[in-house]
Amino acid sequence: MRHVLVCLDCSELSKQVLPYAVSLARSFAAKITVLHVQEKPPVDCSAPMDCFEWEMQKSEVRRYLNSIKTDIGNDDILVTTELMEGRPAEQINFWISTHDVDLTVLCSHGSNGKSQWSLASTTQKLITGTQSSILLIPAESLEKRDPDDNKYTVSFQRLLVPLDGSCWAESALPFAINIANYQDCEVVLAHVVPEPGITKIEPLNAEGLALEQHILDYNCSVASHYLNQIESRLKSTTNISFNTSLISHHGVSHELNKIIESQAIDLVLMTAHGNSNQPEQFCGKVAQDFLAHCKVPVMLLRGQMSQPEVSFKHNYSGIESTLRLPSQAVS
């Protein structure tokens, strides 16, 4: 993980993701790009856009980006800025696909503030439509941040890595270990035991109940052995403190959020796919559901997309070339 992209819309809410981006960039010795997309206003066919006003807005954004670069740039971290024009989701996705971005940092909401929707539209589009790994910072978690904390530093005390027994889920472990080594924090390994898949058209008889309990006991036994193996293997190679959590299935998202609350988790690291891996999708259903309900930052890690047709390396810079923009306006 060598390149971290931070997407800001110039709102105070989105700017609060910077401490997380800086802390993780330092953990991985990565460079940071701070990106803003200046969104084009609704088209008015009766008159061209005001060229002077548009350029003034761009100048203000450049000053804003440069002030951030000055604040967080130092000897141990390289910071660059980028200003684009157009529709945010499309422009961000294009920039990601053409600049080898490893991690994109987003706030769940931006300039419009929190709403009844768990994710803003641009954030939702990027989660389900870009190949970069995502660090999603819920607006709710930013409200709990102590204003007296260091401006561009955040400390993690406890990380959560959900594991379902698949190699895909386990691929989040090296990233968690890297962060834990840098931050000197604890890693919690969690497994949600699946419910027995028994058809319940009618109430279960004694035989059905016994079978259901037998399957549940078996799943718990296998899962417990699995977590103990993972913990033992990790403890033999690192001095990081590990803890395991085995819970029954009453909805994966619901159970993981209970662990987050009960164990005071600061950051979740999970992969976009698990056992039901569908590599043609950018994000599995379990991950999507969890992101929509999680109250702490989540690092969603993606593998390589196996289907060539899902590569979105298109240039969106001319997507609105028919509009009467400043460069095309006639005085």
Render pLDDT for 27-41 as a digit per residue (tens, 0 to 9).
Answer: 999 999 999 998 876
**Chain CA centroid to CA 308, Å:** 23
Q: Which domains does the chain have, with CATH numbers?
A: 1-152+302-331 (3.40.50.620), 155-296 (3.40.50.620)
Strand 103-107 to strand 133-137: parallel, antiparallel, or no bridges (unpaired)?
Answer: parallel
Q: How far apart are CA 105 and CA 18, in angstroms?
A: 8
pLDDT band at 325 (very low <50, low <70, confident <90, very high): very low
Q: How confident is the model at residue 149, as a pLDDT?
A: 57
Type and span of the H or E element at 312 = none
- Coil, helix or strand at residue 287: helix
More confidently predicted of 306 and 127 = 127
Whether residue 138 contacts residue 20, with contact meaning beta carbons closer than 8 Å, is answered with no
Whether residue 269 contacts residue 290, with contact meaning beta carbons closer than 8 Å, is answered with no
Q: How far apart are CA 76 and CA 81, in angstroms?
A: 17
Mean pLDDT on 137-165:
77
Q: How far apart are CA 88 and CA 124, in angstroms?
A: 12
pLDDT surpassing 50 at residue 294: yes
Roughly what angle, to the nearest 10 degrees, separates helices 285-293 and 252-262?
40
What is the model's pTM? 0.81
pLDDT > 70: what percent of the chain? 79
Q: How confident is the model at residue 324, as a pLDDT?
A: 36
pLDDT surpassing 70 at residue 314: no
More confidently predicted of 280 and 80 = 80
In terms of Cα–Cα distance, which of 129, 176, 142, 158 is closest to 271?
176
Q: How far apart are CA 23 and CA 29, in angstroms?
A: 10
Q: How confident is the model at residue 23, as a pLDDT?
A: 92
Q: What is the pLDDT of residues 206-253, one digit of tens each?
A: 888 888 888 888 888 898 999 999 999 999 888 899 989 888 766 788
